[in-house]
Amino acid sequence: MDEHAETLRAVEHELTALLRRGRAVSWEVAREVHQNLEPNAYGLLLWLRRYDSVRLTDLASRLRIGKGTLSRQIRGLEALGLVRRTPDPTDRRASQLSLTEEGQQRFDAARAARMDHIRRVLDSWPAQDVAEFARLLDKFNNAWS
């Protein structure tokens, strides 16, 4: 068998394991933020936490999802009191999204627990390996889009 093909199968196997584990963690972390939060919404909160404020259209483009789909998800987060939508000062037809104070507090608490877990998993790795792992994940994610 071709060595490159076997290596790609190994990558696919490890990605599948990572994604399966990630889905389980997403359920746990979402529940830590709010008992009614959908697991996929944690990722939205992560992006909103990264930005102070972001236009709905820009976030939809970045996440590669439709504006309608994102708008429905945002409405759910607004109903939970985690996200606010305000008119864009440069274009009143557009919306700016940001986390509410409660959304920031809940997200930060859940993220701290998640980061502690990641820290424990990677604690025995040399710092150079952790940096290389982060670099390669970034490279992979950027190439995927």
Domains of the chain plus CATH, in order, are 3-144 (1.10.10.10)
| Predicted pLDDT of residue 25 | 81
Nearest to 46 by CA among 96, 110, 94: 110
pTM of the model: 0.78
Q: Please report, as a single letter, which amino acid is at residue 29.
A: V
| Structure tokens belonging to residue 22 | 């990630």
Query: Along the chain (145 residues), what's the average pLDDT of each consecutive run of 10 residues?
Result: 89 92 83 86 90 90 90 94 92 89 94 90 96 95 81
Helices (H), 51-98: 56-63, 67-79
| Predicted pLDDT of residue 145 | 63
CA dihedral (102, 46, 35, 106) positive or negative: negative
| Predicted pLDDT of residue 31 | 87
Which residues neighbour 74 within 8 Å (Cβ) at sequence distance 6 or greater? 44, 56, 83, 85, 97
Cα 14–112–140 angle (5° rounding)? 30
